Structure 1
Amino acid sequence: MSTLERLNSDMKQAMKDKDKKKLTVIRAVRSSLKNEEIQLGRELNEDEVLTVLNRELKQRKDSLQEFEKAGRDDLASNIKEELEILAEYMPEQLSEEEVASLVKETIAEVGASSKADMGKVMGAIMPKVKGRADGSIVNKLVQQHLSS
């Protein structure tokens, strides 16, 4: 079952269960997916769906940080619930060790030797970890490996 089909069936189930929180999150994600389809002028493939889901996840993580800084625990707990719901639709995340080994492989593949090659390495590794690792973690590990 594709992620899009899963979102649709979960939305129907959330309606039946009267789960307003889940329904709101799924509707927001479906709206973002629909906007992306309109922008591209075609249906989205699974990778593009994951890209949109990642964007939604990142927006909520950023909001969570801002709410926590401002001391808005009520809004922060709300966002945490939304993050949990969104996480159900993401592929299993890679561990930091798995990302580190991918970073080493990619550095060897592109022949990178210094921080000046950071863009080449990031460009090569991000498609490999799409949706399965946070870009900031990948960036940090690439920097560590290129500086050592």
Structure 2
Amino acid sequence: MSLKARIQDDMKSAMKARETERLAAIRLLMAAIKQKEVDERIELDDAAITAVVDKMLKQRRDSISQYEAAQRQDLADKEKAEMAVLMAYLPQQLSEAEIDTMIEGAILSSGAAGMQDMGKVMALLKPHMAGRADMAAVSARIKAKLAG
């Protein structure tokens, strides 16, 4: 079953179960997928849908930090609930050890010597980690390894 079909099935089951918050989050995801398909005039595959989910999760993280800074915990909780629904559509997340191993391998294979080679390392890692790790955290780890 494709990821898009799974999302549509989950939307139907959320409707039947009258899970309004879950249904709203799934509808937002379906709208984002449909918008991208219409804009680019293509049918999105699982990898492209994962990229859409990843982008939506990043938006939620940004919103949560802003809401918490403004002491609007009610809105931050709503965003966290949407994140929980969206996380179900990402592939299995990488462990900390797996991320470190992949970073070490990318640094060795690219011959990275310092911060100027950060782009090379990220370019090697991004296709393998997209949707499976928080790329901002990965970037911070790479900076720490290249700097020290």
Query: What TM-score, normalized by structure 1, do the two folds share?
Result: 0.96
How far did 1:109 drift?
1.1
Correspondence 1:49-68 to 2 at 5 A: 49-68=49-68
Match of residue 137 from structure 2: 137
Instruction: Quote the Cα distance in structure 2 between the aligned partners of 1:129 and 1:31.
Output: 25
Structure 2 unaligned blocks of 5 or more: none
Tell me the alpha carbon deviations over residues 32-55 of structure 1, each in whole angstroms, 9 at most, x when there is no partner. Answer: 001111122110111111000000
Choose 138-147 or 24-33, whichever is displaced more.
138-147
1:40 has 2:40 as partner: yes
Correspondence 1:8-47 to 2 at 5 A: 8-47=8-47
Correspondence 1:62-81 to 2 at 5 A: 62-81=62-81
How far did 1:141 drift?
1.3
Q: What is the identity, as a one-letter code, of the residue corresponding to 1:142?
A: I
Correspondence 1:117-132 to 2 at 5 A: 117-132=117-132
1:113 has 2:116 as partner: no
Q: What is the identity, as a one-letter code, of the residue corresponding to 1:17?
A: A
How far did 1:116 drift?
0.5
Instruction: Quote the Cα distance in structure 2 between the aligned partners of 1:2 and 1:100.
Output: 30
Indicate the SS of the match to 1:139: helix
Structure 1 unaligned blocks of 5 or more: none
How far did 1:93 drift?
1.1
Match of residue 5 from structure 2: 5
How far did 1:30 drift?
0.5
How far did 1:73 drift?
1.1
Tell me the alpha carbon deviations over residues 54-108 of structure 1, each in whole angstroms, 9 at most, x when there is no partner. Answer: 0011111111111111111111111111111111111121122211110010111
Q: Percent identity?
A: 37
Alignment root-mean-square deviation, CA: 0.9
Instruction: Quote the Cα distance in structure 1 between the aligned partners of 2:27 and 2:52.
Output: 13
Tell me the alpha carbon deviations over residues 86-145 of structure 1, each in whole angstroms, 9 at most, x when there is no partner. Answer: 111111211222111100101111111111000111111111101000011110111122
Match of residue 85 from structure 1: 85
